[in-house]
Structure formats: C-alpha cells, structure tokens
Amino acid sequence: QVQLVESGGGLVQAGGSLRLSCAASGIIFRLNGMGWYRQAPGKQRELVATITIGGTTNYADFVKGRFTISRDNAKNTVYLQMNSLKPEDTAVYYCNNLNGRLPWGQGTQVTVSS
C-alpha cells in the first residue's frame, strides 16, 4: 500500500524558515522522481519543486532561490527547506512523484504571517 506522510509545517513569521519532510512507503523510492506541490485556499494545486532519481532539481519561479528540495533514499524521504518565507507561501504542502499519480497524503499546513 502506497503511503505518503508529510510533516514539518506550522505557523511562521514572514522571513522565517521551515523544513518539510515526506516519508514514502509502498514504493521503490529510489526509482521515483519526487516533487513538492502546494494548494492555497481557493486555488488549484501547483508544483513547487522537483528532484529526479539522479538528484537533478527544478523549482517554480516563485520559490527559486528560497526553497531547496533534497532526498534521502536510505530513509525513503524527500525534504523541502523553505527560507525567506512570504505570506503568499501559505498553503497545504504535499509530496508526490513527478506525475502526481501516487495517492495523495494529508499534506502539511504552512502558514506565514505578515
């Protein structure tokens, strides 16, 4: 059974930092490119950052230079280090593979106050 469990969200002031984690089970993690997605209230889910099997990373323009995605295949976990947070980063953050076709987890809420 495939399961994605996100954690690490919280309430932070603008300019602050958070580190999100996503633990995956039920998949051969090292064979999956992974991504972080987010969904703000009233908006569609959007792709934030991706990391390939080989470790190549890509970022949406709105997080470039502020967020860093990484992975630990030994722990079946993908991370998102978020620095210089802005109120517009407020959303529920999810992880999934690059196709977004794994069952979605519950996400982790990130709230950035101004």
At 29-54, the pLDDT tens digits run 999 999 999 999 999 999 999 999 99
| Of 92, 80, 70, 61, residue with least CA distance to 17 | 80
Q: Could you report the per-residue pLDDT of 18-27, keeping only the tens digit for each?
A: 999 999 999 9
Q: Which two tokens stand for residue 58?
A: 């890509």
Mean pLDDT rounded to a whole number for the chain: 97
- Band (pLDDT 50/70/90 cuts) for residue 90 is very high
89-100 average pLDDT score = 96
Sheet of 34-39: strand order equals 10-13, 108-113, 91-97, 34-39, 46-51, 57-59
81-95 average pLDDT score = 98
Ramachandran bin of 32, using left for φ above 0, alpha for ψ from -120 to 50, beta for the remaining angles: beta
**pLDDT attached to residue 81:** 98
Quickly count: other Cβ atoms within 10 Å of residue 93's Cβ.
23
Euclidean distance between CA atoms 8 and 111, whole angstroms: 12
